[in-house]
Amino acid sequence: MGRTGVLLLNLGGPEQLEDVRPFLFNLFADPEIIRLPSPWLQKPLAWLISTSRASKSQENYKEIGGGSPLRRITEEQGEALKAYLQKLGRDVKIYIGMRYWYPFTEEAVAQIKQDGIEELVILPLYPQFSISTSGSSFRLLDKLWQDDPALQKIDYTLIPSWYNSPGYVRAMADLITQELDKLPDSNTGHIFFSAHGVPVSYVEEAGDPYQREMEHCVDLIMQAVGRPNDFTLAYQSRVGPVEWLQPYTEDAIKGLAAKGIDDLVVVPISFVSEHIETLQEIDIEYREIAEEAGIEGFHRVPALNTYPVFIEDMGNMVVKALESPRKLFSDAAQLQKEVRIYPQDKSAWGLTPFAEVWNGRLAMVGFLALLLEMVSGHGPLHIAGLM
């Protein structure tokens, strides 16, 4: 057996307030997060949106202590995973590759190469696949691999999604029942799954399996919970002017309040760590909305973080991958056929005269938009909901 590594993929988050703007720039510079008709516009628009969104976003990070806990929690997950694998007799090096902040995926891959890793398991820390999350990280890895023949010698296995993995489902059900059992009547609490949203066009036009995987995941968790409680799946964290998956979390909360629900047990479902959208958006913003709407009992199920049943499940997935190595990058290619991961490739990229004219015009629109924002503080980016 050669040197073995596990690459954990995650989003990354700003560790201090000064990091927020450059973090947002990296995020919006990703065509998997915001789609533009031309790649030439990506960076100017990312600059525009990150510059104008930074102060609002910083306010949110201030409310959770001034930075994202994502790096710390991901490192703790990595250590726990390493220890579990060691118990199983596997000596594995763990690497963390974040998409938009330190430690970047590029750094992790450089280290993997330097360490002479021969067998690698690539495990995204997103249970459900989305073009905007795991898809974006896979696209980056694909590029790094194509550019470097040394990486092509590594025997890798990629786990595209694992929302139906029995240990993960069990772990989620455990945390939900623990929270239900704190209620005066555990059977009446309404279980409210709040998933991170994506624009509807990702699902309907680009074929993102995210919504399908999410709905299936919720069904599996409810079966494992095995209680008579009612439940809802809603989508949070909408950004920008386009339509996102519905129902929106805030609307669903108000709807349940109108029906007289007293106890809401909120379950963050698309992400395995605490982060800004659990600690700030759910715990502060949605709690306020619920309480104003008349829901007295607002309860939140914690994120999995290093919950042992979850860590063991990740470990078991890694072992399974090592025992039956399949080059899932070729499966990912399969996935790309089904799921048009890169729909922007459809439009002709490059300096066609048409593109140049439009890039010029759109850049001008962007520049005017920024001027308006700066002068009035209520320009088009506010109106579009990007700030």
Ligand X SMILES: C=CC1=C(C)c2cc3[nH]c(cc4nc(cc5[nH]c(cc1n2)c(C)c5CCC(=O)O)C(CCC(=O)O)=C4C)c(C)c3C=C
Answer with the entry of ligand X, Fe ion, none that 52 interacts with (C-beta below 5 to 8 A by kind). Answer: none
| Shortest Å distance, C-beta 126 to ligand X | 5
Closest CA to 211 of 330, 128, 298: 128
Does residue 126 touch ligand X according to CB under 6 A?
yes
Placement of tokens 């629900």 in the chain = 261
Does residue 33 touch ligand X according to CB under 6 A?
yes
Which of positions 238-267 make contact with ligand X (CB under 6 A)?
239
| Shortest Å distance, C-beta 280 to ligand X | 9
Candidates 7, 27, 154, 176; binder of ligand X (CB under 6 A) is 27
Does residue 339 touch ligand X according to CB under 6 A?
no
CA 315/CA 323 separation, integer angstroms: 12
Does residue 77 touch ligand X according to CB under 6 A?
no
Does residue 38 touch ligand X according to CB under 6 A?
no
Answer with the entry of Fe ion, ligand X, none that 283 interacts with (C-beta below 5 to 8 A by kind). Answer: none
Site residues (vs Fe ion, CB under 5 A): 237, 281
The dihedral through the CA atoms of 169, 172, 175, 181 has a sign that is negative
CA 290/CA 285 separation, integer angstroms: 9
Answer with the entry of Fe ion, ligand X, none that 57 interacts with (C-beta below 5 to 8 A by kind). Answer: ligand X
| Shortest Å distance, C-beta 347 to ligand X | 18
Residues near 108 by beta carbon (within 8 Å), at least 6 away in sequence: 7, 95, 96, 97
Q: Which residues are annotated as a binding site for Fe(2+)?
A: 196, 277
8 in Cβ contact with 99 (< 8 Å): no
Candidates 4, 42, 132, 359; binder of ligand X (CB under 6 A) is 132
Does residue 270 touch ligand X according to CB under 6 A?
yes
- What's the maximum distance between 2 C-alpha atoms anywhere in the chain? 68
Candidates 112, 151, 158, 198; binder of ligand X (CB under 6 A) is 198
**Token code pair at residue 180:** 């239900």
Read out DSSP for 257-273? Answer: HHTT--EEEEEE-S-SS
Q: Which stretch binds ligand X (CB under 6 A): 11-19, 288-296, 304-312, 315-323?
A: 11-19
Does residue 57 touch ligand X according to CB under 6 A?
yes
The dihedral through the CA atoms of 62, 65, 71, 77 has a sign that is negative
Does residue 68 touch ligand X according to CB under 6 A?
yes
Helix residue spans in the chain (DSSP H)? 20-28, 42-63, 70-87, 105-114, 134-147, 166-180, 200-204, 210-225, 249-258, 276, 287-292, 308-323, 328-338, 353-376, 380-383
Candidates 77, 130, 157, 232; binder of ligand X (CB under 6 A) is 130
The single-letter code of the amino acid at 285 is: E
Placement of tokens 């990229």 in the chain = 349
Does residue 206 touch ligand X according to CB under 6 A?
no
Does residue 157 touch ligand X according to CB under 6 A?
no
Residues within the interface to ligand X (CB under 6 A): 11, 13-14, 27, 33, 53, 57, 68, 70, 126, 130, 132-133, 196, 198-199, 239, 270-271, 275-277
